[in-house]
Structure 1
Amino acid sequence: MAKSIMVQGTMSNAGKSLFTAGLCRIFMQDGYQTVPFKSQNMALNSYITKEGLEMGRAQVVQAEAAGKEPSVLMNPILLKPTNDKGSQVIVNGEVLGNMNAADYFKYKSKLKPDIMKAFNKLDEANDVIVIEGAGSPAEINLRDDDIVNMGMAKMAKAPVLLVADIDRGGVFASIFGTVMLLEEDERKLIKGIIINKFRGDVEVLRPGLRMIEDKVHIPVIGVVPYLTVDIEDEDSLSERLDSERTVEAVDIAVIRLPRMSNFTDFNVFELIPGVSVRYVKSEAELKNPDMIILPGTKNTMGDLKWLRQNGLEGRIKKMAAQGTVLFGVCGGYQMLGMTLDDPYGVEEGGSLTGMGLLNIKTTFSEQKTRTQVSGIFGPVEGTLSRLSHIAFSGYEIHMGVTETIDAEPLTVIDHVSGQALLKTDGTKNGNIMGSYIHGIFDEEGVASTIVECLLNKKGLESSSLQKLSFRQYKEQQYDLLAEEIRKNVDMDIIYKILKAGV
């Protein structure tokens, strides 16, 4: 049976996901079979496992840090917001349906058996389970039938570490308020406090640490500095989405759709010197990029209407006509077509005219496509011609079926979910192209080839560029994260907490 420890936070974006990943790496480095677990995740960034099941990307990152293949057991419930009041509910990797917040709040207690079944399977096969909470345990309106914070800690019999973000200010108030709003039995589960994202001299902070320990009777066991590790962030709180980035030699503009999903598809470009990746949401922010990317979205029709209303659609179409490279991924690919039909009300119902840049038609279906794929790019013309026949891998996750009309496919897929199978994906029309495949830029050489092509179009040299090993880079970042946590957190105490349990 595994030992469990849980990471909770005083607020959203306190650093729970990253700290959990760091602990997973440390325990793995120390020789323990370690897995992450989050009973319920709310995110638009998701991933498809080898079995074709959907889970949150945060647990994929944590699994990578632990050296484990991502499994839906690590995230049995995923909520993907469809609007401000509702989400698509995914249980054990498969779509249960759409629910508004009130209905889900009433329903969620029925999911406890699914949560514990997944947890117990991990418990049987591993030495350590690092559990992540969500938001704050002090959200007292959600205390009844809680399944992700203290309710999960009780079900797993896991001691809790409380992470607090000092960078935003008010860290001591947030710690004190969180602890005081908990029930007495919940307070007893918290065995240590981590101050996160600290900038400055820790000696100046020490009087405050002693005072907060006296008030809440819980030890502060670490002060983690504001880290510069480059590890995937969760959802739209990411600082990557700041549009005020300096324009570099190669400028890539990702349209920041209101329901954008899987923006981590583009992180690989940020590793290349001289490349800027900007997330833009207005004509003024778009400027004059070398490449425009329309990303995935949880609401293709709604976000296409948003593009029209704010004038971005017209500007994008004009720039594409002038030769700017335009690439659509998943929902962004669907937008580029002629029509979007939603006969089953999967999104907004009815039909909508697309941007008319690719000769495709999309019909939304009730069944979701969930597969891992690999293959090669077909013949590519125009600016990105050197992409021709380069290998890629990634995954499909979409509710639409797209029909091509006398259009050339962008890629040839040769393996689907580990099985040899030939099929095509995507479409191209000169410098305009689209694909359903998330992660299509991650394979070694794909992103750097695109950047080379964009540089050469401007008459600039690309000899200094190196083919990227994104996987190796991520491994280095996980090791750096673990090293920083070891330096600034008392791991001896954490091991004692883990061993003692509750």
Structure 2
Amino acid sequence: MREARTIMLQGTASDVGKSVLTAALCRIFKQDGYRVAPFKSQNMSNNSYVTPDGKEIGRAQGMQADACGIEATTDMNPILLKPTKDMVSQVVVHGKPYRDLDARTYRERYLPQAEAIVKEALGRLRQRFDIVVIEGAGSPAEINLKERDIVNMRLAEWADAPVLLVADIDRGGVFASIVGTLELLEPHERERVRGVVINKFRGDVSLLQPGIDWLERRLGKPVLGVVPYLPQLGLEDEDSASLDGKGGKGLTAVAPAGSRPIDIAVLRYPRISNFTDVDALASEPDVRLRYVTDPREWGEPDAVVLPGSKNTAEDLLFLRETGLEAKLLAYAERGGRIAGLCGGYQMMGLRLLDPDGVESGRSVTEALGLLPQETTFAKEKRTVRVAGSIAAGEEGTVGLPVEGYEIHMGVTVNVGSVRPLVRLRTADDPEDERPDGAVSEDGRKFGTYVHGLFDNDAFRRSWLNAIRRDKGLGPASPETAYRDGRERSFDRLAAHVRRHLDVARIYRMLEGE
């Protein structure tokens, strides 16, 4: 049986668009009738995804599997690094936590083991599929990391994959970044790079052509395409670096604030995780979603979302030290709507208890006091897909079906009377229904461990319509289902990349030409 052909996308830096272009190629190959799978050997991200069998991988590889029309597995991202503090990450191996390691220990002691894990995972994928689209990480020209590299050029050699080098023109210095990256590669690595893709272009491509002609002469390699920036794509970002361009202004760059009457503030703390939980809100035509890192950006939100965190206690202290906690508590006192998701839910309780130092060196951290609960951090991580229905909350939401997934190491218990937000079942035991989350007495503040809660169309729209009622606005119906919209986004992305990338030449590369 012939092993799957491979192609690899590497970048001149992080956040140049490798993840999205990988998804585009995955969808293009699927449309053309191939069985295709994504692969990223090692991912560093707190934005994660739960596979159908309850394992944890990078969110980008879950999204790319969706683009392929297949279920995600841990073979697509066998090693996930989730930063917990400076220079320390939780190492997740095939979807399960291994241990927390500092950068030096991981590099010097664990990478030799990781190499075998990566090769075996890639080998299994190549037995099952026709094409594997491999995504690199950061830059292949990090001189200090190359010796033990398992994610860029050494991986390309193991997979015998032609490499496309992706550069982001939007950040400036695109020609220097391309030439500089290739100059720092070894001759055999440079030979493996078969072409260059210039990404996120804005403007008249004819004005860029003299630079492209010079670059091709300088490199002796083709520029396979100049891919224009594609706004409002509606697909998940890989990590919080992508939030830097969003800042506090949210979507106002593409729509006047007046055309989006619902203002939702998302608190962006340093170790924010699974911020894709709010993507469905951002996709709504009447929502202006913005990320807030400073009290001066608070404004007058109609609702505030506390997203997940990889270090809940430290991020809670960030809110306290910056003055955002005071803003939030004053907002709650005025009857403001607050939604806490996973780590954000834990912050809403009375106390965070960490007797074993699972997340931080603080054994007790006083929390926000918005819900009568306390959380104890456990050594075992819970990762599971769940489904159920809303048990209490805003008018119109009770009884609505919801589904999502859990990823957390905390156990939250009630220390007072409180209603659960949802009643849930797991795929492992669909008959066993249990409560999750909590809702304040006024129904305007809730927390839950369910990631993907706002992806549920009926719940999301009912919650937003409750906000509209408070503002004297009539109810709005969803124009499209969020998940259907993602499918259209994949097809839109594929069509866009087909127009601007030499796909025929890429197919020839896959055949070894």
Find the counterpart in structure 2 of residue 111 from structure 1: 114
1:486 aligned to 495, 498, 508, which one? 498
CA distance in 1, matches of 2:294, 2:200: 31
CA distance in 2, matches of 1:437, 1:379: 15
Equivalent residues in 2 for 1:224-239 (5 A)? 224-228=227-231, 229-239=233-243
- Report how many residues are paired: 497
1:352 aligned to 365, 380, 405, which one? 365
Name the aligned partner's letter for residue 388 of structure 1: V
Cα offset for 1:211? 1.6
What are the superposed Cα offsets for residues 396-452 of structure 1, whole Å, 9 maximum, x if unpaired?
000101112332111000334574421110011121110011101101212111111
Find the counterpart in structure 2 of residue 14 from structure 1: 16
Equivalent residues in 2 for 1:32-111 (5 A)? 32-106=34-108, 107-111=110-114
Find the counterpart in structure 1 of residue 438 from structure 2: 427
CA distance in 2, matches of 1:379, 1:40: 40
Contact 1:109–1:147 under 8 Å retained in 2 = no
Instruction: In structure 1, list runs of 5 or more residues that go unmatched.
Output: none
CA distance in 2, matches of 1:318, 1:168: 39
TM-score by length of 2: 0.95
What are the superposed Cα offsets for residues 318-359 of structure 1, whole Å, 9 maximum, x if unpaired?
211211111110011111111111011111131111111111
CA distance in 1, matches of 2:11, 2:410: 37
CA distance in 1, matches of 2:77, 2:103: 20
CA distance in 1, matches of 2:227, 2:429: 41
Q: In the alignment, does 2:312 pair up with 1:308? A: no
Find the counterpart in structure 2 of residue 249 from structure 1: 261
Name the aligned partner's letter for residue 179 of structure 2: F
Q: In the alignment, does 2:446 pair up with 1:436? A: no
CA distance in 2, matches of 1:482, 1:17: 13
Contact 2:194–2:221 under 8 Å retained in 1 = yes
Q: In the alignment, does 2:277 pair up with 1:265? A: yes
**Segment of structure 1 superposing worse, 448-457 or 310-319:** 310-319
What are the superposed Cα offsets for residues 237-265 of structure 1, whole Å, 9 maximum, x if unpaired?
22464212444411111111111101110
Contact 2:382–2:409 under 8 Å retained in 1 = yes
Q: Secondary structure at the match of 1:207?
A: helix
2:33 aligned to 24, 27, 31, which one? 31
Q: In the alignment, does 2:415 pair up with 1:402? A: no
Q: Secondary structure at the match of 2:300?
A: coil
Name the aligned partner's letter for residue 49 of structure 1: T
What are the superposed Cα offsets for residues 77-108 of structure 1, whole Å, 9 maximum, x if unpaired?
10111122111111111111111111111121
What are the superposed Cα offsets for residues 458-500 of structure 1, whole Å, 9 maximum, x if unpaired?
11112x4326411110011110111011111111100000111
Name the aligned partner's letter for residue 238 of structure 2: E
CA distance in 1, matches of 2:284, 2:319: 29
**Segment of structure 1 superposing worse, 220-229 or 147-156:** 220-229
CA distance in 1, matches of 2:502, 2:209: 15
Find the counterpart in structure 2 of residue 393 from structure 1: 403
Q: Secondary structure at the match of 1:399?
A: strand
2:187 aligned to 175, 180, 184, which one? 184
Contact 2:12–2:140 under 8 Å retained in 1 = yes
Name the aligned partner's letter for residue 118 of structure 1: A
Q: Secondary structure at the match of 1:500?
A: coil
What are the superposed Cα offsets for residues 101-132 of structure 1, whole Å, 9 maximum, x if unpaired?
11111121221111111111111110000000
Relative to structure 1, the CA distance from residue 61 to residue 417 in structure 2 (aligned partners, 3 Å threshold; closer, same or farther) is farther
1:173 aligned to 149, 169, 176, which one? 176
Q: Secondary structure at the match of 1:356?
A: coil
- Percent sequence identity is 46
Q: In the alignment, does 2:486 pair up with 1:471? A: no
Name the aligned partner's letter for residue 100 of structure 1: D
Find the counterpart in structure 1 of residue 160 from structure 2: 157
CA distance in 1, matches of 2:432, 2:184: 55
CA distance in 1, matches of 2:325, 2:213: 56
CA distance in 2, matches of 1:310, 1:15: 32
Cα offset for 1:206? 2.0
Contact 2:41–2:151 under 8 Å retained in 1 = yes
Equivalent residues in 2 for 1:350-389 (5 A)? 350-380=363-393, 384-389=394-399
CA distance in 1, matches of 2:163, 2:373: 51
CA distance in 1, matches of 2:266, 2:402: 21
Name the aligned partner's letter for residue 398 of structure 1: H
Instruction: In structure 2, list runs of 5 or more residues that go unmatched.
Output: none
Name the aligned partner's letter for residue 414 of structure 1: R
Find the counterpart in structure 2 of residue 461 from structure 1: 474
